[in-house]
Amino acid sequence: MTNHFEKRVDPVKLVPGAKTVISVLLNYYPSQYPLHSDVPKVSKYAYGKDYHYTVRGKLKQLFDFIKENIYPELEGRWFVDSAPVLDRAWAVRSGLGWIGKNTNLINKKWGSFVFIGELIVNLELREEAEEVRNACGTCTRCIDACPTGAITEPYIIDANRCISYLTIENKDDIPDEFKGKFDNWVFGCDICQDVCPWNSKPIPTNEPDFKPSEQFRKMTIEDWVDLNEEKFDELFRQTPLERTGFNGLKRNINFLFQK
């Protein structure tokens, strides 16, 4: 996060001539789940196609629509987790929600199971969005539910204890101190979101790209334990699980099942 700090806080350094950040959200809460409840768990955002492709495509459509129908002089770029952009901060400034105690953006309608994207453009818009008041109140469910103690205090995450970090970004062995604390998560973790009251009435997405494949839904424990590289490529090509790679996923599976 310290890399390219100046570009993170000043979009003009990222997109010369920029005057406006247009933030958007896309709901990804799944309409279908794996058929077997005892299998390793995958974070909901990773059930279907890699969201970078989907959100980026929709942002380009929005950009083209504005350029063709409203502002022919439009110039700029679109982003989704693909550059040093402070997505959550810009989403808050745009009135799309507030940052919860688990550090996720929370929207009053959609909860926190949303992807964030931006258009950074030369279009000068009058700022009308009002920032949404933080509505977490005294609730500490996300903090209390984290099995590894990664939310050390409200709005502070120790990444080295976060299951999402340990199963995805982490390139080393998972420390033994976390044995028995992963609650069967093999890629990512949704615990702090699942317990959030703002996610108690989720609205399933209608985006077909985020629908899990039938092969993925039917996986059994044996399928996970016996997963080989060929099957990994077949099941998870162009999905978020590609990020951890076959070796990383096998490490996670072995961590869950080896005593």
Q: Kindly list the domain boundaries of the chain, sorted by start residue.
A: 158-202+212-257
Torsions phi, psi for 143 (to 5 deg): -65, -45
What is the 8-class DSSP label of residue 222? Answer: H
Residue in 193, 140, 138, 137 with CA at minimum distance from that of residue 163: 193
Active site residue 81: yes
Angle between helices 245-257 and 229-236 (to 10 degrees): 110
- Through-space distance between the first and last CA atoms of the chain, rounded to whole angstroms: 35
pLDDT of residue 130: 80
Structure tokens at 59: 């942002």
Contacts of residue 77, defined as CB under 8 A and 6 or more positions apart, other chains included, come to 14, 15, 83, 119, 120
Which residue out of 64, 81, 144, 233 is catalytically annotated? 81
Structure tokens at 195: 């317990």
pLDDT of residue 215: 97
Checking DSSP bridges between strand 151-153 and strand 114-121, what pairing results, if any? unpaired
Per-residue pLDDT of the chain (259 residues; tens, 9 = 90+): 556 556 556 778 888 999 999 999 999 999 999 999 999 999 999 999 999 999 999 999 999 999 999 999 999 999 998 777 889 999 999 999 999 999 999 999 999 999 999 999 999 887 767 889 999 999 999 999 999 999 999 999 999 999 999 999 999 999 999 999 999 999 999 999 999 999 999 999 999 999 999 999 999 999 999 999 999 999 999 999 999 999 999 999 999 998 5
Contacts of residue 38, defined as CB under 8 A and 6 or more positions apart, other chains included, come to 184, 221
